Amino acid sequence: MVAHSTAPKQRMAFFLGMSPAARAALLMIAATALFAVMNAIVRLCAETLPPTEVAFFRCFFSLVVMLPWIARYGVSALKTQRMKLYSVRAIIQVLSMFCWFTAVSLIPLAEATALSFTGPLFATAGAALILREQVVWRRW
């Protein structure tokens, strides 16, 4: 008979016992670390593969990670009432990923990351120009 370790259950209980703010902070730190690792891997892979192929494999491995979730809950869990808007969002996201992977392959990683921090400025400008939102000086 194989003895099962209780360590994973204890870690999960510890994680779930944390305050929501502490859990959020821990998840943000983990996400930041994983994005940094992904960008480094993209940079290394882009030395021998075109950025579009690197993006394809990123999407492929993301699908592999999602397959257990899809097997458990089914594709119907992804059902939406706004398929047209969801499709537009997905296309924009894929194009954005291709552009990001191309940038990471062409310029230094630190420079690409620094440029990515300008995203909120462009989002604010887009909200004002495209969505006609009233943007006050504090948001700028």
% of the chain exceeding 90 in pLDDT:
40
Question: Does 72 fall in a domain?
Answer: yes
Tokens of 104: 């990471």
How many domains are there within the chain? Answer: 1
- Model pLDDT, residue 3: 56
Question: Does 120 fall in a domain?
Answer: no
Question: Does 136 fall in a domain?
Answer: no
Exposed e or buried b per residue across 4-21, where buried means at least 16 C-beta atoms within 10 angstroms of its C-beta = eeeeeeeeeeeeeeeeee
∠ CA 106-90-28 to the nearest 5 degrees? Answer: 70
Q: How confident is the model at residue 94 (pLDDT cuts 50, 70, 90)?
A: very high
- Model pLDDT, residue 25: 93
Q: How far is CA 25 from the centre of its chain?
A: 16
Question: Does 116 fall in a domain?
Answer: no
Taking the C-alpha atoms of residue 28 and residue 11, their distance in angstroms, rounded to an integer, is 18
Taking the C-alpha atoms of residue 128 and residue 120, their distance in angstroms, rounded to an integer, is 12
Residue labelled with tokens 């579009």: 52
Taking the C-alpha atoms of residue 45 and residue 116, their distance in angstroms, rounded to an integer, is 20
- Model pLDDT, residue 16: 84
- Model pLDDT, residue 47: 87
Residue 133 has pLDDT above 80, yes or no: yes
∠ CA 65-71-76 to the nearest 5 degrees? Answer: 110
pTM: 0.70
Question: Does 58 fall in a domain?
Answer: yes
Work out the average pLDDT over 66-70.
91
- Model pLDDT, residue 76: 85
Condensed to tens digits (0 to 9), the pLDDT of residues 2-45 reads 556 677 788 888 888 889 999 999 999 999 999 889 888 998 99
Residue 77 has pLDDT above 90, yes or no: no
- Model pLDDT, residue 61: 92
Structural domain for 94, as ranges: 18-106
Question: Does 69 fall in a domain?
Answer: yes
- Using CB atoms within 10 A of its CB, is residue 82 exposed (0-12), middle (13-18) or buried (19+)? exposed
